[in-house]
Structure formats: C-alpha cells, structure tokens
Amino acid sequence: MEELTVPAEQVAVIDSIHTQEPPSTQEPLKCETWVASYYGRAFHGRKTASGEVYNQYAMTCAHKTLPFQTLLKVTNPKNGKNVIVRVTDRGPFIRGRDIDLSYGAAQEIGMLAAGVAKVQVEKLPNRKDISES
C-alpha cells in the first residue's frame, strides 16, 4: 500500500477546517416587543416539533425559526412579571403572533385571561454559549 504524503502547509489548513466552529447564522436577539399567545390542554402530552413531549406546565415555547433549546426571557410589560422559556416547538401559525408560550409560562407572567399579549423578549445565552466564553 502506498503512503500518502501531504505538504505541511496543507496539513495545517486541513486541521483548521476540522477545528473551526461554523459561523453563527443567528443574530443576537435584543429586547424586542412580540405578540404572544399560549397553548395548553389540547397539546398536553403530544410530541413537539423538537421531539420532546409537550408539558403544558413546563416553561417552554414555540417559535417559527429560532433554534430548538434557545432560551428566551419573556416579560409582560403590564405587570413586570417575567419567565425564562426554552424553544421546543414550532409556531404560532396565526398571523400577527410571534411566540406561543406554554400554559404554565403564560400563567407565570399573568396573561391567561387576555389570551394574547404584547411581551418583551430577550434571547439569553444557552449553557453551551456560557461555557465557551
């Protein structure tokens, strides 16, 4: 069997390709105002788009494009209450809405009676992001 010889400068290039992290395609989310709704009982126990089973009392949410496991701080500006939720599902699929909170998260920030509310949303660093800094 023939041995393959590769010049040293090419080895360095090849090594750097395998060790570089791909560039982030997700812009950091600054505090933005979104329209939130919530979903609960009808979906409790069903599998979400991420593969997790939906628990209406867990602090989770659905978003159309944010990566699964993204952490968001959601604040109800009417009462100042906030909650940290994790993206585990896709949605909402109703025009004009930006995020679907779990029943538990909506309850935590006091928006159950309203059903739909304007909220302040801020992307938080995930555990992986924190450990790399």
Q: Over its length of 133 residues, how does the chain's per-residue pLDDT go in tens digits?
A: 455 454 444 444 334 333 333 334 445 568 999 999 999 899 999 999 999 999 999 999 999 999 999 999 999 999 999 999 999 999 999 999 999 999 999 999 999 999 999 999 999 997 665 445 4
Q: Write out the DSSP string of 37-67.
A: EEE-GGGTTSB-TTSPBP-TTSSEEE-SSSP
d(CA 37, CA 10): 54
pLDDT at 30: 84
pLDDT at 126: 79
pLDDT at 1: 47
Q: What pTM was estimated for this model as a whole?
A: 0.75
Q: Helix, strand, or coil here: 75?
A: strand
Look-up of token digits 């952490």: 71
pLDDT at 124: 96
As its CATH architecture, domain 32-125 has Beta Barrel (2.40)
Q: Are 129 and 84 in contact (CB under 8 A)?
A: no
Burial of 85 (0-12, 13-18, 19+ CB in 10 A): buried
